[in-house]
Structure 1
């Protein structure tokens, strides 16, 4: 069919009305965004000849995404989270800000309120017997290049089955397993003991998997560890590192892999290293230093206060 009605004056007037642009109530920013998005959707329906069946199939899928709580999962899967990071990078470039440690997506599985310790923390509770011991450590540096004592390092990751505590469908994990907040010591150091996580995939049969399959894509992520790092006078950094050697490091469905975020994994088998870390056998070691950036005119111009995150 070649019928197109987007450019009709009646359609353009209708878009003005439905977006609230013909009244003096409401929120001007919401009106502006709604008008643009609805205009783009109307035009797409015209240009692509989207049928009512296709449209209502999409509406049913949106309902399923909402009912399953997977909006935060399909968002990175469609590249939106990565695109937002790219825009923040471009804004920083315009401001002349150099990010020594790249930002990357948060993901939907953070939980607030993890136990706090200074300098060192044990993340796992020892119940995942399939896990290979991991020692990860580094320093947090400020905008002046000096180490930051008292910086906050929030860290979380999944177990060897790909499940996160608080979101584990088996109910096996205790609250805050593999989640901690570490305050850097006098030398700006943080360190934790845990296990090397595994990658995971989106829930089988889920609306997220259905869309990815329709796009000819998979829903798998490489093994990774999430971080929030913050300190007075600096912008909060949201990032994550991938476990080097994972076959999906460069094929992440969530597009979170970035240069500088795949540190080496060193296998330690010597007695001195094992003893120095109070361990009973070989372990993996990752060193990851973090460089924070300054506030912009006294404000963190990238913090997201509106995002809904799980509480304890």
Structure 2
């Protein structure tokens, strides 16, 4: 019977993957083995610690549902999501910066007319969002689908609410840019909020004395044909957590000033019911192919 010491064991496991037909899969698996085995050796990992890690990962998987992805949340708080984003978007060439998709994107949104109030049934300070999509030279791009979604005044996404299945979406929609590349909508000013702390990832954050907060932001997914998909946030300037986002997603370029206004009409000429806020942001997309990735756990990824 062959016996291995710790170094020989690693070499044997790496060798076991040498017949993997896909060269990229072979490379990824072998590098994963190297990193995992190095971690065990460097930390002198105990049986109890490894059992705890397996239990944590098991609970993480058990927490996942069709509308909640705890593994994405784990990737986010460990900075892996932003690291994958960084290595895949090293050269932006003037294109708008990217950031994490997050665990609350639920797939394609319903196309909604410009000017709609996507948070009409929610309390909160009113906000008008006006935006534009262009190429790197400033040419407006028409007919571009843009998905938007954000949390409510209590810090919850609609998919976190028990009523989501019956009430449908809120504070999320899809807009299609006009001939000048523009779209606009009404909503409420988003607030900073904690990531879910009722699962293993949130419990880990609390037990390690990290705060669970994300600064206020609106998610955007810009999917122009012939251009790289743009997954990003626009953050509200001045938020107290702007420099300590629990998922490390803030970039200076993505911070927008949200002005408080008292004008009797909003930019589209329709009356305002009282004070309101204005968010303005322009997205620049980079030529390229492909579609935006489907969220994990959806049929698109299950079939992949």
Query: Which of the five TM-score ranges fits, normalised by the shorter chain?
Result: 0.7 to 0.9
Tell which deviates more after alignment, 258-267 or 206-215. Answer: 206-215
1:271 Cα deviation (Å)? 2.6
Which residue of 101, 106, 109 corresponds with 1:106? 101
Q: Structure 1: how far apart are the matches of 2:296 and 2:281?
A: 27
The DSSP-based 3-state class of the residue aligned with 2:6 is coil
Partner of 2:247: 254
Which residue of 153, 160, 163 corresponds with 1:160? 153
Q: Within the alignment, does 1:192 sit opposite 2:185 as a pair? A: yes
The DSSP-based 3-state class of the residue aligned with 1:289 is strand
Q: Structure 1: how far apart are the matches of 2:292 and 2:139?
A: 23
State the Cα deviation string for residues 18-70 of structure 1 (Å, max 9, x = none): xx32xx46544333222221222122212211100000000000001111121
TM norm structure 2: 0.87
CA contact (8 A) 1:274 1:281 kept: no
CA contact (8 A) 2:264 2:272 kept: no
Pick closer, same or farther for the CA change 1:173–1:164 going to 2, 3 Å.
farther
Q: Within the alignment, does 1:121 sit opposite 2:112 as a pair? A: no
TM norm structure 1: 0.85
Pick closer, same or farther for the CA change 1:306–1:106 going to 2, 3 Å.
closer
Which residue of 44, 55, 79 corresponds with 2:39? 44
Tell which deviates more after alignment, 170-179 or 67-76. Answer: 170-179
Segments of structure 1 that go 5 or more residues without pairing to the other structure are: none
CA contact (8 A) 1:110 1:310 kept: no
Tell which deviates more after alignment, 267-276 or 45-54. Answer: 267-276
Q: Within the alignment, does 1:68 sit opposite 2:80 as a pair? A: no
Tell which deviates more after alignment, 139-148 or 47-56. Answer: 139-148
Segments of structure 2 that go 5 or more residues without pairing to the other structure are: 65-69
Q: Structure 2: how far apart are the matches of 1:230 and 1:169?
A: 30
The DSSP-based 3-state class of the residue aligned with 1:290 is strand
1:280 Cα deviation (Å)? 1.1
Pick closer, same or farther for the CA change 1:194–1:309 going to 2, 3 Å.
farther
- The number of residue pairs the alignment matches comes to 292
Partner of 1:16: 15
Pick closer, same or farther for the CA change 1:188–1:85 going to 2, 3 Å.
same
What is the Cα-based RMSD across aligned positions, in Å? 2.5
CA contact (8 A) 1:184 1:190 kept: yes
Q: Structure 2: how far apart are the matches of 1:68 and 1:172?
A: 18
Q: Within the alignment, does 1:294 sit opposite 2:287 as a pair? A: yes
